[in-house]
Amino acid sequence: MTIHTSIKKNAYYDSVTLMLLSRQLQELAGVEDVLVGMGTELNLDLARDLGLATGEFDTLTPNDLFIAAKIDEAQISMKAVEDAFNAYLNKSAESESDEDYQPPSLSSAIQALPGANMVLVSVPGQYAAAEVEDALDAGLHVMLFSDNVPVEDELRLKQKAVEKGLLMMGPDCGTAIINGIPLCFANAVRRGKIGVVGASGTGTQEVTVQIHKLGEGLSQVIGTGGRDLKEQIGGLMMIQGFESLIADPETELIVLISKPPDPSVAEKICQIAKGSPKPVVIDFIGGERAAIEAAGAIPCISLEDAAQKAVKVLRGQEYEDFTGFSLPEEQIEQIVEKEAAKLKGDQTELRALFTGGTLADEAMKLLGDHYDIYSNIPLSPEMAIENLPEGRGHICLDLGEDEFTRGRPHPMIDPQTRTEFFESHVDEKTAVILVDVVLGFGSYKDPAGAVADSVREIRQRLSNQGKDVVVIASVCGTELDRQDLNKSIATLEAAGIIVLPSNAQAVRLTDKVMQRIKKGAGDVS
């Protein structure tokens, strides 16, 4: 160990800067002790106390800066210490953190953002109602992403919102696009003439994405939250949204999306549809057509169908139920043959693993009549996943449901949950894997990549048993989403995944493949 002094004459640095510098230099390997200071009596005493003083100290004045260091010359030179000193000083203020001020409360935030007109609430459910109340009292619209909000609070808050002419989208509302701006989980779609009110997050996403694909655009996309069309809430936000779109000059056609409402609520909505001067397309997913038709609105058989009809009606074209595929029939048959040929006789089971709740629901509604599918969103109680027999069977899971998101992020945000299910639920008996890949704001940076990786792992695993598997997917996204629709499709196809242009088509192809292997196996189940 040797002691060195470095002196900079007539240099001034702030005492705090120098303290920080001392600390930085202290951390260099080979520096046992170091003091950086101006040559004041106090600092010279301190240096002496620390055993760092040398003869050169006698020449120091308070206007001089000194670096006194005790170093192990095998590890570091005094010059290196001086260089580090200079480097630190030259470091510019780009280490400045770029974080904006975060006010501690809603009221101070409203002050900090003059003209604020929307509050987006995703705090824990037990606190959400109070915040929403404050927002509505302050005259702001609300999007309430939080769930676990008591239904009594939802009712009271929606009544207040309606009274004040405000939006209260939620609770459990994941998707909205207001004034062309995607909120929470939503896709980048072009602006246009079709307005949407949706009680179902990924259902809304799918419809908006399909409308965009067909070349039309969205004026406003209003969410209502999943419970809005239950009798207790009475469709308050669906009605509020519907009426505002009827009054909106930019909106020429309206699409409503929801699971089948409670009867009294369905009636109220149909009443409004009856009196609407603008065409109304209604998808009560899996629900009854008659009442909708009687109200002069257009019923649908799938989310894709809703988008197709909306676009056709907007363009004054003829429309019909879309039950088929975008690709020509023969091409579909070829795909079915080719894929079915990959499978062995004992591969019979379906594994549908969804991240989007409404997309899972649509799959269940389209497949559930033809197959006995065990699920956490079963069509009837005896098909609940817990009842899966020892002999096993078909499975369709909505991985975004509460039981799978305790203490874990939603699978749209983080693919890990589905990755684990790919590992645990896919085996040598699996015939077809059906998945959704949801792009857009809020979603994981590369959902297609995650699925492709898992599929490659599965094929690897199954090839050890001389087997392969059929994987069918749809991508809910656009070329404007940051995850890029086309790139995502390419990623999936590179893993041998068959990508269809919509959830409904993916489900239909799954049905065809399943029927094909049934026939092939000579099974009549």
Q: Where along the sequence are the contacts to another protein (CB under 8 A)?
A: 14, 16-17, 19-20, 22-23, 26, 33-35, 42, 45-46, 50, 93, 95-97, 99-106, 108-110, 112-113, 115-124, 127, 130-131, 135, 139-141, 145-146, 165-167, 178-179, 181-184, 220, 240-241, 244, 247-248, 250, 413, 441-442
Q: Min. distance of Cβ 521 from another protein in angstroms? A: 47
Q: Which amino acid, 10? A: N
Q: Identify which of residues 69 and 499 has a Cβ nearer to another protein in the complex.
A: 69
Residues 24 and 395: their CA atoms lie apart, in Å, by 59
Q: Identify which of residues 315 and 445 has a Cβ nearer to another protein in the complex.
A: 445
HSE-CB of 108 using CA atoms within 13 angstroms: 5
Q: Min. distance of Cβ 226 from another protein in angstroms? A: 18
Q: Min. distance of Cβ 410 from another protein in angstroms? A: 11
Report the candidate in 505, 500, 488, 476 with the shortest Cα–Cα distance to residue 211: 476
Q: Identify which of residues 417 and 474 has a Cβ nearer to another protein in the complex.
A: 417
Q: Min. distance of Cβ 417 from another protein in angstroms? A: 18
- Give me 295's structure tokens: 């109200």
Residues 513 and 69: their CA atoms lie apart, in Å, by 77
Report the candidate in 483, 516, 513 with the shortest Cα–Cα distance to residue 500: 513
Q: Identify which of residues 121 and 395 has a Cβ nearer to another protein in the complex.
A: 121
Q: Identify which of residues 103 and 263 has a Cβ nearer to another protein in the complex.
A: 103
Count other C-beta atoms under 10 Å from residue 370's C-beta: 11
CA dihedral 312, 313, 315, 316 (to 10 degrees): 120
- The CA-atom distances, in angstroms, between 341 and each of 347, 394, 514 are 11, 20, 12
> What are phi and psi for residue 511, nearest 5 degrees?
-60, -45
Q: Identify which of residues 145 and 325 has a Cβ nearer to another protein in the complex.
A: 145
Q: Identify which of residues 28 and 379 has a Cβ nearer to another protein in the complex.
A: 28
Q: Identify which of residues 240 and 488 has a Cβ nearer to another protein in the complex.
A: 240
Q: Identify which of residues 319 and 441 has a Cβ nearer to another protein in the complex.
A: 441
Q: Min. distance of Cβ 488 from another protein in angstroms? A: 18
Residues 339 and 341: their CA atoms lie apart, in Å, by 5
Residues 162 and 237: their CA atoms lie apart, in Å, by 8
Residues 315 and 398: their CA atoms lie apart, in Å, by 35
Q: Identify which of residues 55 and 114 has a Cβ nearer to another protein in the complex.
A: 114
Q: Is the backbone peptide bond immediately before 171 cis, with ω within 30 degrees of 0? A: yes
- Give me 395's structure tokens: 């499975």
Q: Min. distance of Cβ 150 from another protein in angstroms? A: 17
Measured in whole angstroms, the distance separating CA 194 from the mean position of its chain's CA atoms is: 23
* Long-range contacts at 249-252 (CB < 8 A, ≥ 24 apart): 250/193, 250/195, 250/219, 250/220, 251/193, 251/194, 251/195, 251/219, 251/220, 251/278, 252/193, 252/194, 252/219, 252/278, 252/279, 252/314
Q: Min. distance of Cβ 360 from another protein in angstroms? A: 23
Residues 132 and 158: their CA atoms lie apart, in Å, by 10
The DSSP secondary-structure symbol of 57 reads G
Q: Identify which of residues 109 and 521 has a Cβ nearer to another protein in the complex.
A: 109
Q: Residues with Cβ < 8 Å from 397, sequence gap 6 or more?
A: 352, 353, 354, 360, 375, 376, 385, 404, 421, 425
Q: Are strands 181-184 and 175-178 parallel, antiparallel or unpaired?
A: antiparallel
Q: Min. distance of Cβ 209 from another protein in angstroms? A: 17
Q: Identify which of residues 177 and 509 has a Cβ nearer to another protein in the complex.
A: 177
Q: Min. distance of Cβ 412 from another protein in angstroms? A: 12
Q: Min. distance of Cβ 174 from another protein in angstroms? A: 11
CB neighbour class for 189 (10 Å; exposed up to 12, middle 13-18, buried from 19)? buried
Q: Min. distance of Cβ 296 from another protein in angstroms? A: 23
Q: Min. distance of Cβ 1 from another protein in angstroms? A: 16
Q: Identify which of residues 50 and 385 has a Cβ nearer to another protein in the complex.
A: 50
Q: Identify which of residues 170 and 501 has a Cβ nearer to another protein in the complex.
A: 170
Q: Which amino acid, 481? A: D
Residues 435 and 242: their CA atoms lie apart, in Å, by 32
Q: Min. distance of Cβ 442 from another protein in angstroms? A: 7
Q: Min. distance of Cβ 394 from another protein in angstroms? A: 35
Measured in whole angstroms, the distance separating CA 284 from the mean position of its chain's CA atoms is: 24
